[in-house]
Chain A
Amino acid sequence: MFKYFISLQWKAFVRSSSFGKSLGLKILMGFLVLYFSVAFLFLGLGLYPLLKEFYPEEEPLHMVNQFLLLWFFLELVVRFMIQTLPVISIKPLMATPIPKRKVVDYVLVKSLFSFFNFLPLLVILPFGIFTIYKSEFSPWAVLGWMVAVFSLDLCVNYANFLLKKYFADNLKALLPYLGVALALWLLEYFGIWSITEAFASGFDFIVENPLFSLIPVFMLLSLYLWNRKVLESRFYLDESIRGKVQEANTRDFNWTRKFGDIAPFLQLDLKMIWRNKRPRTIIFMSVILLGYGLIFYPQETYQSMPSIFVFVGIFMTGIFMINFGQFIPSWDSTYFSMMMAQNIPLKKYLSSKAGLMTFSVVVLAILTTPYLYFGWKILVINFCCALFNIGVNIPVLLYAGSFNRKRIDLEKSAFMNYQGTGATQWLVALPLMIVPVLIFWGVSSFLGFQAGAGVLSGLGVMGILLRPHLMNLVEQAYVKSKYAMINGFKQTGE
């Protein structure tokens, strides 16, 4: 049965109309995978000798145990950002005589073969083998430790899906857990009780009593079963079939009238964002990520590297633009043929999208002004980044949109609806953030801060002045790929 599912997935991948695009991205991903594998392997090989060299009197295994909790926590954060649950289109399978449990098991087991689970092995195995040979721990003790650590890694794997599936719909349910985490952190911070210490001594205990490594294995099993229960309970087409019809929200966004003839499209986009779960999360994300600066600005080490702040500035002022822009025109994919047959000049359609993104950059730039607290330079950089986003990145994103062929089902319920998101999404966004950093770094390291900021904002202003011309180019690209888009957007499923 599993073999059958695998062949279905392969066909879905090869036969989809965005095959060319995703293949290119997949090759790029392949390089990244190689890079990270090598990096982790070196970490695994070097960890024991390095720790021994720098801290000769400490036992490396105990030191590693001190950092395990932090490691798992970071791993969860990273996985939450970029790892996606493997998807399988369930609708055609629902009425077939395949037991639900089999499909769910397939999805869950498949997730075990994720690259994210492979990476820690590259560290755990070499480090464990070094420990067996170099220290006086018994092989059984180290083996138990390795089993325990790897099981917890896989627990993180499943915890991530629970977070995504279970809590994504119900953020309030997450609050108590966040509260507990915060409390633990505070206890640790004020030196009252340290969870890291407790966690570390737990692992030291496992090393002494290898049989207790079965506890993480049991945790893994129970998380698996929990995941299975959650997924099985969602194994329905749509909550709406069970009679849950949303009361329509009839906000009209009349203030958009000020924007003249693009107003109807602006209104439509705002309604689209506000009334559909998928795009709505972008808004929440934009607001949350405004706090991104807090991670960088207070750090002493970054003060001499304003290029980093350019990255932060582009990110904070452009996060909505990046997330919304790279799926233009896929947001409208479910009714794209109507948009193309209706009395809508393509240019107006595109300029309303550009208008919406510009508006978002302006609003986010204004919201970042409190960072003035960390120095006027940061404010200057953020405003320059906003200008660059408006002038350069928006036309670039719109142009890139003309290569979009992939449908987004806004109306699909959250179950297994992570179309297009994941690591690939960030890869597309990377150049948008890296290029301005490089420009700023190049100019400012020769001519100083003012020149760097000047060039960034100058490019932005130039882009704004040239926008009518740039939009003409973008429009031509859309005219050319219009038929391919219409065809691609008709393909449902992954």
Chain B
Amino acid sequence: MALNKQESRSMITVTNLSKVYNGTTVLDVPHLEIPKGQSFGLVGNNGAGKTTFFSLLLDLIQPTTGSIFNNEITVSQSEAWKPFTASFIDETFLIGYLTPEEYFNFIGELRGQNKADVASFLKGFEDFFNGEILGRRKYLRDLSKGNQKKVGIVAALIGNPEVIILDEPFANLDPTTQIRLKNLIREITENAEVTVLISSHDLIHVTEVCQRIVVLDRGEVVKDIKTSEATLRELEQFFSGEEVEDEKENIL
């Protein structure tokens, strides 16, 4: 996909990034580049640093060393990356006392879309919402966890962002929605302009939708794989611990 562009440009660049809490290093990434248009998957066990990485990317926490560049903008120094970056990390991204429609309109407004734009955008998600979101006259806080997640994910897609960050998008979703979400992400990444970053605990989902998978373990990048037929097997081996021992030796 990216072939028709000249040597694909780096959208997100990480240099010497580390985050230390009270002497414990929770993230240490010397260098990482994510080209424009790539769908990028981040996997790792609890505490591997996935959410820390995304929070740093969104300037929600401060890096101890190094910096992240989003389209050549240093995220911790300028706010200029915000207009083209959208994200959904967790329910704290939702405003509980709004109805889904109001929330979409609010986000739309922040991204320069008027009500009509948002309405026509939402038309495309009727299947995804499965009739449980729109027009129900319910506040977001009264929706189930899964439905809240759907709202957050769709809101992150409003206004044609160039970078989309989704933390654990598959968790809490019912099987039907998981399949629909996979198709949705594939559709988005077919457009070579949009860079998608996803983290997940579900190896199957992430290998299905991501072109590249990076494995984090205790804050460090231990695998960086271009997705192929063999990827799932490789990841399963890694996480079952069969291969871990000698792998670690190589790193240390």
Whether A264 pairs with B92 at a CB distance below 8 angstroms is no
Give the shortest distance, in Å, between B106 (CB) and chain A (any CB).
6
- Decide if B60 is an interface residue (CB 8 Å cutoff): yes
- Stretch of A72-80, A91-99, A332-340 with 4 or more beta carbons under 8 angstroms from chain B: A332-340
Q: Is the CB of A344 within 8 A of B110?
A: yes
A250 in contact with B102 (CB, 8 Å): yes
Contact present for B137 and A341 (CB under 8 Å):
no
Q: Which of A159-167, A270-278, A366-374 contacts B (4 or more CB under 8 A)?
A: A270-278
Chain B 98-114, CB-CB to A under 8 Å as 1, else 0, gives: 11011000110111000
Q: Does A245 contact B (CB under 8 A)?
A: yes
Give Cα A343 to B83, complex, Å.
Answer: 5
State the CA gap A399–B227 with chains docked (Å).
Answer: 50
A386 contacts the other chain (CB 8 A): no
**A residues near B94, Cβ cutoff 8 Å:** 335, 338
CB distance from B85 to the nearest CB of A (A): 8
- Cross-chain contact A271 with B138 (CB below 8 angstroms): no
Residues of A within 8 A of B99 (CB): 248, 250
A344/B82 contact (C-beta < 8 A), A250-B102, A271-B98, A271-B102 known: yes
Contact between B110 and A276 (Cβ–Cβ < 8 Å)? no
Interface membership of A240, Cβ < 8 A:
yes
- A337 x B110 contact (CB < 8 A): no
Chain A residues touching B, majority SS:
helix
Give the chain B neighbours of A246 by CB distance below 8 A: 139, 142
Alpha-carbon distance between A268 and B202 when the two chains are bound, in angstroms: 36
Chain A positions 472-494 with a Cβ under 8 Å from a chain B Cβ: 483, 486-487, 490
* A248 contacts across to B, CB distance below 8 A: 99, 137-139
A264, B93: Cβ atoms closer than 8 Å: no
A345 touches B92 (CB 8 A): no
Give the residue of A245, A338, A345 whose beta carbon is less than 8 angstroms from that of B93: A338
* Contact of B142 with A341 in the complex, beta carbons under 8 Å: no
**How far is B51's CA from A341's CA once the two chains are assembled, in angstroms?**
14
A410 to B139, CA, bound (A): 13
Say yes or no: A337 contacts B92, CB within 8 Å: yes
Q: How large is the interface on A (under 10, 10 to 19, 20 to 34, 35 or more residues)?
A: 20 to 34
Would A342 and B107 be within 8 Å (CB), given that A247-B137, A271-B102 are in contact?
Answer: yes
Known contacts A250-B99, A334-B96, A342-B107: does B58 contact A411 (CB below 8 Å)? no
Contact A268 B106 (CB under 8 A): yes
Neighbouring B residues of A272 by C-beta, 8 Å? 97
Does B208 interact with chain A (Cβ within 8 Å)? no
Interface centre among A268, A342, A487 (most CB of B within 10 A): A342
Q: Are B59 and A338 in contact (CB under 8 A)?
A: no
Using CB atoms, name the residue of chain A closest to B98. Answer: A271
Of the residues A410, A486, A487, contact of B97 by C-beta under 8 Å: A410
Number of interface residues of B (CB under 8 A): 32
* Across-interface contacts of B138 in A (CB, < 8 A): 245, 248
Provide the residues of chain B in CB contact with A276, threshold 8 Å.
97
A155 to B89, CA, bound (A): 49
Does the CB pair A245–B59 fall under 8 Å? no
Contacting residue for B95 out of A335, A340, A483, CB 8 A = A335
Q: Which residue of A lies closest to B62 (CB)?
A: A483
- Minimum CB distance partner of B136 in chain A: A248
Complex interface: chain A residues within 8 A of B87 (CB): 341
Chain B residue with the shortest CB-CB distance to A275: B97
Interface string of B33-59 (1 = CB under 8 A from A): 000000000000000000000010011
Residues of chain A contacted by B119 (CB below 8 angstroms): none
Residues of A321-376 whose CB lies within 8 A of B: 334-338, 340-346
Name A486's contact: one of B60, B79, B111 (CB within 8 Å).
B60
Establish whether residues A268 and B61, one from each chain, have CB atoms under 8 Å apart when the complex forms.
no
A contact residues around B109 at 8 Å (CB): 264
Q: How far is the CB of B216 from chain A (nearest CB, A)?
A: 21
B182 contacts chain A at the CB level, 8 A cutoff: no
Evaluate contact between B142 and A268: CB separation under 8 angstroms.
no
- CB atoms of A411 and B97 under 8 A apart: yes
CA distance A335 to B55 in the complex (A): 14
Interface string of B54-97 (1 = CB under 8 A from A): 01001111100000000000000001001101010100111111
Contact status B83-A338, CB under 8 Å: no
Residues of A within 8 A of B110 (CB): 264, 342-344
Contact with B along A254-283 (1 / 0, CB 8 A): 000000000010011001100110000000
Who on chain B is nearest to A338 by CB?
A: B93
B98 contacts A490, CB within 8 Å? no
Asked if A335 and B92 sit within 8 Å, CB to CB, the answer is yes
Q: Which residue of A lies closest to B95 (CB)?
A: A335
Q: Would you call B59 and A341 a contact (CB within 8 A)?
A: yes
Confirm or deny: B141 has a beta carbon within 8 angstroms of a beta carbon on chain A: yes
8 Å CB interface, A268-309 against B: 268, 271-272, 275-276
Q: Which residue of A lies closest to B99 (CB)?
A: A248
CB distance from A472 to the nearest CB of B (A): 15
Given contacts A341-B82, A342-B107, contact A240 B142 (CB under 8 A): yes
Q: In the complex, which residue of chain B has the Cβ closest to the Cβ of A276? A: B97
CB-based closest 7 A-B pairs: A338-B93, A341-B58, A275-B97, A248-B137, A343-B82, A264-B109, A245-B142
A-B contact pairs, 23 of them (CB 8 A): A240-B141, A245-B138, A247-B137, A248-B99, A248-B138, A250-B101, A250-B102, A264-B106, A271-B98, A272-B97, A335-B92, A335-B96, A337-B58, A337-B89, A338-B94, A338-B95, A340-B58, A341-B82, A342-B110, A343-B83, A411-B96, A486-B60, A490-B92
**Other A-B pairs, 15, CB within 8 Å; known A264-B109, A337-B89, A490-B92:** A245-B142, A246-B139, A248-B137, A272-B97, A334-B92, A335-B96, A337-B55, A337-B58, A341-B82, A341-B85, A341-B87, A341-B93, A343-B82, A343-B110, A344-B110
Q: Which residues of A contact B (CB under 8 A)?
A: 240, 245-248, 250, 264, 267-268, 271-272, 275-276, 334-338, 340-346, 410-411, 483, 486-487, 490
